[in-house]
Structure 1
Amino acid sequence: MLPSLSGTAREPPARPRAAPGSGTGRAALRARAGAGSGRKGAAMSGRFASVNPATEEVVGEARDGTPADMDAAIGAAREAFDAGAWSADPRLRARCLRQLRDGLVAHASELRELTVAEAGCPVFLTYGPQLDAPVADLGWFADLAESYEWSRDLGVGAPMGMTSRRTLLREPAGVVGAITPWNFPHQINLAKLGPALAAGNTVVLKPAPDTPLVAEFMARIVQQETDFPPGVLGVVTSSSHALGAQLVADPRVDLVSFTGSTATGRSVMASAAATVKRVFLELGGKSAYIVLEDADIGSAAAMAAFAVATHAGQGCAITTRLLLPRARFDEGVHAAARTLGKLGVGDPADPGTVCGPVISAAQRDRVESYLRLAVDEGGAFACGGGRPPERDRGFWIEPTLVVGVPNSARVAQEEIFGPVLVAVPHDGDDDAVRIANDSPYGLSGAVHGGDEERALAVARRLRTGTVGVNGGQWYGGDVPFGGYKQSGVGREMGVLGFEEYLESKVVATPHGGQ
């Protein structure tokens, strides 16, 4: 935990503020990542190692928070919301968010290297959704805090003969508990913090045990380079998931924003029900990439293959089912397999790498269990199917294409979270829509066709929160993201995501000659 961000009194740092660290190179990164910024006079909590999934080397050590740390962070957030100026001052919120954005930009080179080392993500992604894009989006939420219509005149009415003017007020929900996964740590952390803080809430962030260092780095920027008031943002890192459960159950928390597996999301929802908390859940996906009969099959299949190999398939919105026209199925499979074979795996620090390691040995073992299951279910591998033989260190899975299983197979129904694409034939548009919607999930999807209007007609029939047509990209801080069915509840980012963190209040006053 970073106690100074969760309620310890402090004076705003004098400008120019000190940077979170100095020096370059991985040794310096390890030193900075392992250096805490604890509360003066307080005993340090224990620490735990964060491991580079490409090399199995220790990147650094993070603070191993305790239940007492979490309790203190929640208490400080509660006090900051109830007694501080944060919730009532959009200009302060906007200024602090812009300071955070500017601080992250100033340390982008250090964060880029740390993110690649800790999350194992290909460095090219840090110039987009793994770092630069979500950092820039903080400015969009700062602008929204200043421009949002916080009150709206609903006009005059006369219910029960009492002429009254009605006004709709939008107010922050209160204390937000944010629980985030490891696959896109900056994007998901900031997609919660940006709108929640801009809306006037205070936040306690519990990042994943696999990627604590990037969260700690951000927290030190908040502490040292911004005017965030004490208690507004608490960051509690821990090697255990138990502190996330504590955050959800605490009655002082008004809203829980969780991104992770559907199984854990169910537990979050059940626990939050005890205190009737509002919940935002962004959960799993098994999204379909539909290729229509009039498409360029080779190009479309190659695009689907590239998508599933990106960051070793560790993205909830990645399309992991490839639906190909039956008459051209072999052509599509050949194109996808050829692309996956060329991509292979590589050092995530190499700018040319698309598929890096999976995050941990446990995740590698999980993916391998699904590969064995694919064979048990009657499937075969058009490419890949195991660990790359040339890699004796790190957690690697070859980009893999599974064929020969129906859409009802577990490997086609369950989220694997690895570089595994399952190809399934379809018999025309109606059948493709049926297969795509035959899933407990509904997070994302893609449609590729020669006639854009036809492709759009298919996209409109998909029960899913986002769809890319012919390569169109939906991602952006101003675009709401979320899913249907068991892919979640609510929307993140965009105005809709911002409003997830608001309450509505109607105030009526007498009007006219009563």
Structure 2
Amino acid sequence: MRSQDQGPVATRTGGEAAGGAAKRMLIDGWLMEAGRTFPSLNPATGAVLGHAPDAGTVETEAAIAAARRAFDNTTWATDVELRVRCLGQLHHALTEHKEELRELTIAEVGAPRVTTYGAQLEEPIGIVGYYADLLREHPMTEELGETEIRGQRHRRWVEKEAAGVVAAITAYNYPNQLALAKLAPALAAGCTVVLKGAPDTPLVTLALGELIAQHTDIPPGVVNVVTSSDVAVGELLTTHPDVDVVTFTGSTATGRRIMAAASATVKKVFLELGGKSAMVVLDDADFALCAQFAAFTICSHAGQGCAITSRLLVPRARHDEIVAQVAAMLGHITYGDPADPDIYMGPLISERQRDKVDGMVARAVEAGAKLVTGGKRIDPGFFYSPTLLADVDPDSEIAQEEIFGPVLAVIAYDDDEDAVRIANNSIYGLSGAVYSADEQRAIALARRIRTGTLSINGGNYFAPNVPFGGYKQSGIGREMGVPGLEEFQERKAFAAVIA
């Protein structure tokens, strides 16, 4: 990266560590401040943790222009060896600075310390290593063979090329995972990127940009990192004619608007959106084990996960029994200061999100659901108690809308056919789970549920080499795995007459 100064808002790329207080945007190889800032809060206390640069359209235009130049005028898109080396450097830098990133993630995201050893930090770091390794062996050319046409031999083949400039827009809940699951495959493919961090967790994303600037040979403009509280910035990224691909993680409502906005320039759009996943407990399952899985899953990161199973489908005849077991397990959930290694559940991200969750619970009770346990705000910070709702109508708001909180809705079903019908009774199709003493029965039922990922008897599908994404209004495309790389590639077909 560059080392000389560029005016009053740009600074040298060396110096501060990833966990330092001052965070800067990365634009065209420069670590930069902005003319204004916005606060980032510690959700466990509500106190201001730090301030992030509040980019406007001017800074965003500069980032897009830098990414365009880097794609069009450098060898990044064609130099595989350079990309492998840079991804390896990024993986090393993330590994070396993971303790600083861990503390920042705990403080800004409200992620319990235990989760940073998994999906909040260390597993995302593994994604970068995975794509560095994949790039070394992944074929960029596919031979289609020879054929004869009108007396001449023709060779046909397909080459995979970088799709171009990528606008990557992330959500707040797993900022390291979401950023690196977009950034690593995009870079491996040869794309250049403008990464926009979520307004609720900007410091974590900015820290990634600083590590790229300070510890890798990634050329200027290949990666640009901006943060902003201005919705105009997101609109610019999704409509700008110099952006070729938009990858977004967030709500389905916002995803719809992005699709509409990107249509004017017919961009390639890749969306990872909401979910209302169902955990189906069949009548021969181990109910005690299922209760444990259901309780701990819904409280994972305080329910702030798009793939979390927030609907629990149980046999009608065993409804009350299973509800009692889940309620007992929820009583064992520890919540509080996420820095405490003994804490399982941290806070919600903001007071706004807590208001949303509390309002949905109140409306569910008004609509006839039974509040078994929880449903309470806990101060200081933005905590919400683990909440269980029973006798939930499968067509009600609480059973249909994503809540993003530690709230589990229990729905009774009559038989396997009814369970499948209820599981598929959703605009979403992101994930799910099936439990049965008969694994083949569980798999057969899972195959009828229209979702992108499914867990059988507690199986963990989440890994860098496993494609992740949804059906229906849970999104378009897949992250991670070989499909995650191919989202950022175009295919060019060739044919040549053989002399």
Per the alignment, residue 219 of structure 1 pairs with: 209
TM-score, normalized by length of structure 2? 0.95
User: Is this contact kept in 1: 2:69–2:221, CA < 8 A?
Assistant: yes
User: Is this contact kept in 2: 1:298–1:331, CA < 8 A?
Assistant: no
Per the alignment, residue 382 of structure 1 pairs with: 372
Distance across 2 between alignment mates of 1:91 and 1:42: 29
Shift of residue 318, structure 1, vs aligned partner:
0.3
Per the alignment, residue 497 of structure 2 pairs with: 510
User: Is this contact kept in 1: 2:275–2:402, CA < 8 A?
Assistant: yes
Shift of residue 45, structure 1, vs aligned partner:
2.3
Q: How do 1:267-286 residues align onto structure 2 when only pairs under 5 Å count?
A: 267-286=257-276
SS at match of 1:320: strand
Per the alignment, residue 283 of structure 2 pairs with: 293
Unaligned runs of 5+ in 1: 23-28
TM-score, normalized by length of structure 1? 0.92
Per the alignment, residue 234 of structure 2 pairs with: 244
Task: Return structure 1 stretches of 4+ with deviation > 2 angstroms.
Answer: 17-22, 31-45, 158-163
Letter in 1 for 2:395: S
**Is it true that 1:462 corresponds to 2:452 in the alignment?**
no
Unaligned runs of 5+ in 2: none
User: Is this contact kept in 1: 2:24–2:206, CA < 8 A?
Assistant: no
**Is it true that 1:439 corresponds to 2:419 in the alignment?**
no
Distance across 2 between alignment mates of 1:464 and 1:50: 34
User: Is this contact kept in 1: 2:26–2:32, CA < 8 A?
Assistant: no
Letter in 2 for 1:20: E
Measured on the aligned residues, the alpha-carbon RMSD in Å equals: 2.1
Per the alignment, residue 21 of structure 2 pairs with: 32
Match of 1:412 among 373, 396, 399: 399
Letter in 1 for 2:43: P
Match of 1:331 among 300, 310, 321: 321
Distance 1:218 1:300, change over 3 A: same
Distance 1:271 1:159, change over 3 A: farther
Letter in 2 for 1:158: E
Letter in 2 for 1:407: P
Distance across 2 between alignment mates of 1:37 and 1:480: 29
Match of 1:206 among 196, 203, 206: 196
Q: What whole-Å deviation, never above 9, does each CA across 1:285-304 have from its counterpart, x for those lacking one?
A: 00000001001112102211
User: Is this contact kept in 2: 1:209–1:241, CA < 8 A?
Assistant: no
Distance across 2 between alignment mates of 1:314 and 1:37: 28
Per the alignment, residue 130 of structure 2 pairs with: 140
User: Is this contact kept in 1: 2:112–2:301, CA < 8 A?
Assistant: yes
**Is it true that 1:130 corresponds to 2:117 in the alignment?**
no
Distance 1:189 1:42, change over 3 A: closer
Distance across 2 between alignment mates of 1:269 and 1:360: 27
Structure 1 stretch displaced more, 437-446 or 152-161:
152-161
Q: How do 1:74-473 residues align onto structure 2 when only pairs under 5 Å count?
A: 74-159=64-149, 162-388=152-378, 391=379, 393-473=380-460
Distance across 2 between alignment mates of 1:37 and 1:187: 19
Shift of residue 101, structure 1, vs aligned partner:
1.1
Q: How many residues align?
A: 493
Letter in 2 for 1:429: D
Letter in 1 for 2:224: G
SS at match of 1:163: strand
Distance 1:458 1:33, change over 3 A: farther
User: Is this contact kept in 1: 2:198–2:227, CA < 8 A?
Assistant: yes
Per the alignment, residue 25 of structure 1 pairs with: none
User: Is this contact kept in 1: 2:67–2:222, CA < 8 A?
Assistant: yes
User: Is this contact kept in 1: 2:25–2:224, CA < 8 A?
Assistant: no
Letter in 2 for 1:272: A
SS at match of 2:336: coil
Distance across 2 between alignment mates of 1:94 and 1:37: 21
Letter in 2 for 1:394: G
Shift of residue 41, structure 1, vs aligned partner:
12
User: Is this contact kept in 1: 2:23–2:206, CA < 8 A?
Assistant: no
SS at match of 1:351: coil
SS at match of 2:491: strand
Distance across 1 between alignment mates of 2:155 and 2:327: 65
Letter in 1 for 2:411: V
Distance across 2 between alignment mates of 1:94 and 1:463: 36
Distance across 1 between alignment mates of 2:68 and 2:26: 22
Identity %: 52
Q: What whole-Å deviation, never above 9, does each CA across 1:403-433 have from its counterpart, x for those lacking one?
A: 1221001100000000000000111221111
Letter in 2 for 1:77: A
Per the alignment, residue 484 of structure 1 pairs with: 471
SS at match of 2:166: strand
